[in-house]
Structure 1
Amino acid sequence: MAVIPAAFTGFNVFGQFGNKQASRVHDFTEFGFNECVINSSTLIAASWSYTAFAQENRLFVCGFLTDKPNASVNIIAPDKIKQIAAAEKFCLILLENGKIYKLLAKVEANLEEVKFAATNVAPPQKRTIFGAIKQQTVETFTHIACGSNINVAVSNTNGIYSIPSKIHEFPKHIKVKQLVCGFEHAMLLTNMGDIYAWGMGLRGQLGQELLQTEETPVLLEALAGIKIIHIAAGGWHSAAISAFGDLYTWGHNTNGQLGLRVFKPNGQKEPTVFPLPQIIDMPPCNTCSVKSSDDGQEGEQYTECIAVKVYAGARHTIVQMNCGTVYAAGWNVHGQLGLKKLNQMCDHFERVPFFATIPNQLNTPNIVCGPWCTVAIR
């Protein structure tokens, strides 16, 4: 198994990143990313107080567990782990066999299989052209996500669950590509490029004109007709990337996490909530017009630098470009933006210098945002 460098920046007071522990909140803020070493197949999910690492069927959780810092727990799952998601008090684990387990953020905790509420409606019997009854598909799960007050899952039969209850079912031709959660809302991206959102929307995080709660998935009509390729859900804000490389953000902007200025040039405060998606102009990237190959020869020419992926923490947003350049905006009290300067927030997208040090930016790193941290896996 290949061992590769990874790096994190942000809150580490409880030793949740293992190799270093900060004695004070700001110990790592001015230094940007700190390197650690993990296996290339490792899955990472971060809460504000602990981090979960999964590889094959092993789950390792470290940080603030059972009211103690620097604690850890090592668990063997009954099958290979496909996905993990970290909430404040527990971690969700999706296995390759389609079952979902929960692990409380406690040293003495064990895996508990999540039980789902039974539906009262029996599925209709389907028959072949010869009249034989078709075998019913056994429902398993394909996606999970969780936040402080919402836990969701998607099944192989297109069932949408607010764990443990089923709240919606999409037609067969719709496939879920991505599922994400904020503190109180959930979003999913379909194979058609459409976004559906539900949950609490009082801070504009659902992308709807009316600030209200939605009990079931609702199409984000403001972006309907625009093919979306990647989405992110922050604490109370959301973001999306279109197939054209355009970045859209909406929701709460108290710390500039939408990439929109908090104050006007005259000092007047801008709106705090943007309920409808705003298209964001990214800074020009002047260093990626020409790339070089490993042998020093001139490589591929880029005529346009566009956004391809977006990630979000509690109040910060990270954008990854097709050339490997990474930009950050939002809350930076714990250094979660990876900028080599100590400021409380950055209300515009600024280039993160750490990613310019990666020798081959064409091999863009995977990025994971916790509420108060950012992790890059190269």
Structure 2
Amino acid sequence: MFAFSGFNGFGQFGHNRQRSGNAFTDICLKKLMTEQQSTSLIAVSWSYAAYATENKLVLRGFLSSKPNTTICVQTAEIITQLAACDRFCLVLCKNGKLFKIRPEIEAKLEEVKLEVEVHSFTQKRSIFGEPKSTVNKEECFIVTHIACGSNITAAVSATNAVYSVPSKIHQFAKHFRVRQLICGFEHALLLSANGDIYSWGNGLYEICFLSLKCSSLVHTYFLYLQISFIAAGGWHSAAISAFGDLYTWGFNSNGQLGLRLFKITAAGNIKQPTVFTLPQIVEIPECKCMQAKDSTMCDEITQNEDATGECLPVRVYAGARHTLLQMKCGALCTAGWNAHDQLGIGHKVDYCDEFRKIESFEGKVAEGSIVCGAWCTVIAKKS
């Protein structure tokens, strides 16, 4: 079961009203999926939403310039990942093949072919000229991670090749492991299993520590910290360190970094910078679970405390101009633009330049099942 808050002007979430009304509203999928099927994947664009379960894909919303439109497509293999932008939806299947489908009524799945450089097949040879190992060319076309934004599409193959689809832009070593791959509107972030961040794309707002457009990866030495989770918004980025600290950087036009737009001083309010070129550590309000005295919560609180007795952030997600934070106890906090009620905080404000707890969401969040669209937030509930 999914719940959403935010823009719904094209019926992508199955409701007639354009917004969720300052609170999270359940998404009804009974007409799309059978009783035996349960939607496990969702990807959200500005104008449509993509739902997938096993080998069934559903697009709903603004298709072929018509709102409240739905199409269903069957795939030969089980769908494992989805990524959506305004122009198309990426579909990754269990066999590692990558497809895309356009938001059109008569659309069909199109296989995405990746370019592979010839020298990627070079082999080490013995002094007698015999190859030491056999290179499986098919592995170069097996995709393991996908992400896309308005103007950027990224993928990682089983051989640790990184693509700005369809072109190969970097080759990591064999032992390298990818933990996360995400895209903003114009930039991409990659998190390794070692906690290192790599970035590429348009650095107009310093979203990837660049001052100009860069087509190759740049290793971000993130204050010598190990990073456990990352997020890429429209023109801003966020990261959580292994110590539970939240860092944000980039565009802060609507407080999406969780930083005040105006600094209060004795002389009056001083406007803060709109763009933060370096990562800023963000102060998170104390989680209410640490103040709770209800005996029914004791076990859960004890389980989610760290060594210092604090409830720390564990995951972060980002939309066009808003950011959502998931605490260790399961509580959700959010900051940023709220013109379409995408924050879901329960009352109407234009923006929020500090993190506030989401009070309108009822239930527990399924692990790793939060998606921030450009103007909305979608959360999967635990059954």
TM over 0.5: yes
Quote the residue 1:314 is aligned against: 320
Q: Counterpart of 1:201 in 2: which secondary structure?
A: coil
- Give CA deviations for 1:162-181 in whole Å, capped at 9, x if unaligned: 01100101112221110000
Unaligned runs of 5+ in 2: 30-36
1:218/1:291 Cα in 2 relative to 1: closer, same or farther (>3 Å)?
farther
349, 369, 377: which is aligned to 2:372? 369
Letter in 1 for 2:220: L
The answer on 1:325 being equivalent to 2:328 is no
What pairs with 1:42-191 in structure 2 (closer than 5 Å)? 42-121=40-119, 123-126=121-124, 134-137=133-136, 138-139=139-140, 140-191=142-193
1:324 and 1:364 in contact (8 A); partners too: no
334, 355, 366: which is aligned to 2:340? 334
Percentage identity across paired residues of the two chains? 50
Letter in 2 for 1:35: D
CA distance in 2, matches of 1:354, 1:364: 19
1:291/1:148 Cα in 2 relative to 1: closer, same or farther (>3 Å)?
farther
1:291 and 1:299 in contact (8 A); partners too: no
CA distance in 2, matches of 1:288, 1:352: 16
1:83/1:291 Cα in 2 relative to 1: closer, same or farther (>3 Å)?
farther
- Give CA deviations for 1:288-326 in whole Å, capped at 9, x if unaligned: 456878xx4842423211000000000000000001111
1:264/1:190 Cα in 2 relative to 1: closer, same or farther (>3 Å)?
same
Quote the residue 1:349 is aligned against: 355
The answer on 1:14 being equivalent to 2:10 is yes
CA distance in 1, matches of 2:16, 2:135: 51
Identify the range of structure 1 (59-68 vs 39-48) with the bigger mean alpha-carbon deviation.
39-48
Quote the residue 2:25 is aligned against: 34
CA distance in 1, matches of 2:46, 2:285: 29
Q: Counterpart of 1:299 in 2: which secondary structure?
A: helix
CA distance in 1, matches of 2:24, 2:6: 8
Quote the residue 1:256 is aligned against: 255
Letter in 2 for 1:307: P
The answer on 1:240 being equivalent to 2:244 is no
CA distance in 1, matches of 2:367, 2:91: 26
Q: Counterpart of 1:101 in 2: which secondary structure?
A: strand
RMSD: 2.2
- Give CA deviations for 1:270-304 in whole Å, capped at 9, x if unaligned: 101011111101001133456878xx484242321
1:122/1:7 Cα in 2 relative to 1: closer, same or farther (>3 Å)?
closer
CA distance in 2, matches of 1:308, 1:297: 19
Letter in 2 for 1:168: H
2:254 and 2:351 in contact (8 A); partners too: yes
Q: Counterpart of 1:172 in 2: which secondary structure?
A: coil
Give TM-score scaled by structure 1 length. Answer: 0.90
CA distance in 2, matches of 1:63, 1:263: 38
Q: Counterpart of 1:121 in 2: which secondary structure?
A: helix
1:79/1:9 Cα in 2 relative to 1: closer, same or farther (>3 Å)?
same
1:290 and 1:299 in contact (8 A); partners too: no
- Give CA deviations for 1:229-276 in whole Å, capped at 9, x if unaligned: 111000000001111111010000000000011122223321010111
1:129/1:304 Cα in 2 relative to 1: closer, same or farther (>3 Å)?
farther
Q: Counterpart of 1:264 in 2: which secondary structure?
A: strand
Equivalent residue pairs, number:
361
1:261/1:82 Cα in 2 relative to 1: closer, same or farther (>3 Å)?
same
2:38 and 2:53 in contact (8 A); partners too: no
Once the two structures are TM-superposed, the CA of residue 42 in structure 1 deviates from its matched residue by 1.4
2:39 and 2:51 in contact (8 A); partners too: no
Letter in 2 for 1:170: F
CA distance in 2, matches of 1:122, 1:240: 32
CA distance in 2, matches of 1:128, 1:113: 38
Once the two structures are TM-superposed, the CA of residue 77 in structure 1 deviates from its matched residue by 1.1
1:86/1:343 Cα in 2 relative to 1: closer, same or farther (>3 Å)?
same
- Give CA deviations for 1:84-117 in whole Å, capped at 9, x if unaligned: 1001111001111111101001011000001122
- Give CA deviations for 1:131-184 in whole Å, capped at 9, x if unaligned: 566332322110000000000100011100001100101112221110000000
CA distance in 2, matches of 1:213, 1:370: 24
Once the two structures are TM-superposed, the CA of residue 57 in structure 1 deviates from its matched residue by 0.8
Q: Counterpart of 2:263 in 1: which secondary structure?
A: coil
Give TM-score scaled by structure 2 length. Answer: 0.89
CA distance in 1, matches of 2:81, 2:353: 32
1:182 and 1:233 in contact (8 A); partners too: yes
CA distance in 2, matches of 1:28, 1:306: 29
Letter in 2 for 1:216: S
